[in-house]
Amino acid sequence: MKALSILSMAPSLLVLAACGGDQQVRETPEDLPVIEAVTPVVTRDLKADDGALLAVRDLVSDGDALMLLDGPADEVWRLSLRPPYTLERVSRPRRFGQPEVFAMAAHSAGLTFIGVDGTLRVMEPADADMLARTIRAFAPVHRPIALGEWDGRHWVAVHAVTVLRETAVDSVIVSRVAPDGAVSRVYGYERAGRSRPHQFLADPMGARVVAGRVVLVGADPARIITIGDTEVRVDTLLEVPRRELSAKERNGLQRMLDDPRLPATLRNAVLPDRRPAAIAALPFDGGYAVVAQGSEEAQFVDLYCGRAFRRTLLARAGLHDIFVVAGGLVTIDDPPLEAPESPARLSFYRVTDFIAECST
C-alpha cells in the first residue's frame, strides 16, 4: 500500500526526502531478500485488451472480483478472480466532475468515490458509469485516506487533517456518513503535534476499510487499531523485525528537516531509526498479515500470530505496492528493469493460505 495504498503525510515526506526530491532511475535494492512463502491464486498482467497499461492507485474487493483504480486516467476496471480473469473498464468518474480520486469503496448503494473536494460520488448499483447522487460530506481541508462500507448502510471515511502553521498538527479522523449526508465522528487522535511534538516522521499512519472494519496502523510503536461497530481494539506488535534506514534515506530526511520554510514543529521532528514496521494490516482469527516498508522501492509482508512476529511471507525486488482487501492481499510488481514498457503484474493471495500457521 501504498499499499495502500492510500498514507498520511510522513510516509510521503520519507520517500521524497530519500529521493532528494528528484526523479531517479529505479534501482533494484542489493540487500533485498527473496522470500515467497505463499503462492498467489491469481496472477495477471495489468494490460487491457485494447493495449492500455494500468497503473493501480487503489483497489477494493467486490465479491469475486477486484475493482482497480487506474491512477493516470482515473478510470475503474473490474478484474474477475475467476477464469479467464477478464479485465473490463466499468467507470469513468471524471465525466461527473470528480477530481482526482483519493479513495473508493464497493458500497451496496453503488461504487463510491471521494476526492480532494470531500464529496462522495455514488454511482448507480447496476451501472458504475452512471452517477446516482453526490454527498457533500467533508471540507476540502480533510485529506481522504480510506473509504468503505459501514454496517451495510453507511459509509466510513478515514481522513488526515494537517494544519501547517508554526505549531503544525496532523490528526487522524474516522467518520461515518449516513445516506442523508449526516456526518458523525467515530474515532480520532492527534498523530503528531502539540501532544506528540516529535512524531511527524517517526509515526506514519496507514488505513484501510476491510470487511466492514476500519484498520489503522502506526509505526511508533508498531500497532494495529481495529474499529468495529461496537469496539475499538489496539494491539501493539511484539518482536518486530528491525529494518534500518539507508544512509541515503537518513541524509534525505535530514536535508528536508533543515529546510527553513518548514514549520518549527516539523523541523524539530525526530528522525526515525528504522523503516516503518507497519503501513497496512489484514486481521484474521489468530493474528495479522502486516505490510512493512522495506525501502522506497520495496515492501514486505510479515506474519504475526497473535501480536508476535512469526516470519516474513513475501519479499522480492519490484514488489512496489501491496493492498489489503477482504479475504486476502493483492501485490503489484513493477515491470522488470530491462523492460520498463512492459505491464505491471497483479497477484492475489488468499488469507486462508497462511492463517493455518497461527493455529498450531
State the Cα–Cα distance between residues 120 and 128, nearest whole angstrom. Answer: 14
The CATH number given to 9-359 is 2.120.10.30
- Say how many residues make up the chain: 360
Q: Give the residue-averaged pLDDT of 260-273.
A: 81
pLDDT at 269 over 90: no
175-217 per-position pLDDT tens digit: 999 999 999 999 998 888 878 877 888 788 899 999 889 999 9
230-254 per-position pLDDT tens digit: 899 999 999 999 888 888 888 888 8
| Domain spans, the chain | 9-359
Quick check: 158 and 256 in contact, CB under 8 A? no
Confidence of residue 15 (pLDDT cuts 50, 70, 90): very low
pLDDT at 282 over 60: yes
Output the nine-digit C-alpha cell for 81: 478472480
Q: Which residues fall within 8 angstroms of residue 91, CB to CB, at 6 or more apart? A: 75, 76, 111, 123, 128, 129
Confidence of residue 302 (pLDDT cuts 50, 70, 90): very high
pLDDT at 29 over 60: no
Query: In the prediction, which pLDDT does 26 show?
Result: 47
pLDDT at 277 over 80: yes
Q: In percent, how much of the chain has pLDDT > 70?
A: 90
pLDDT at 96 over 80: no
Query: In the prediction, which pLDDT does 84 show?
Result: 92
Quick check: 55 and 344 in contact, CB under 8 A? yes
Q: Give the residue-averaged pLDDT of 15-22.
A: 38
Q: Give the residue-averaged pLDDT of 325-349.
A: 92
More confidently predicted of 241 and 73? 241
- Overall pTM > 0.95: no
pLDDT at 341 over 70: yes
Q: Which residues fall within 8 angstroms of residue 305, CB to CB, at 6 or more apart? A: 286, 287, 357, 358
Q: Give the residue-averaged pLDDT of 13-21.
A: 39
DSSP state of 72: T
| CA 79 vs CA 63, 84, 196, 221, 346: distances in Å | 11, 10, 42, 36, 10
Q: Give the residue-averaged pLDDT of 314-341.
A: 90
pLDDT at 283 over 60: yes
Query: In the prediction, which pLDDT does 135 show?
Result: 95
Query: In the prediction, which pLDDT does 46 show?
Result: 96
| CA 16 vs CA 12, 19, 36, 219: distances in Å | 6, 5, 29, 18
pLDDT at 70 over 80: yes
- For 270-308, what is the HEC assignment? CCCCCCCCCCEEEEECCEEEEEEEEECCEEEEEEEECCE
3-state secondary structure of 264: helix
Query: In the prediction, which pLDDT does 58 show?
Result: 92
Query: In the prediction, which pLDDT does 296 show?
Result: 62
Query: In the prediction, which pLDDT does 297 show?
Result: 62
Average pLDDT, rounded, for the chain: 86
Least confident of 226-240, 261-275, 292-306: 261-275
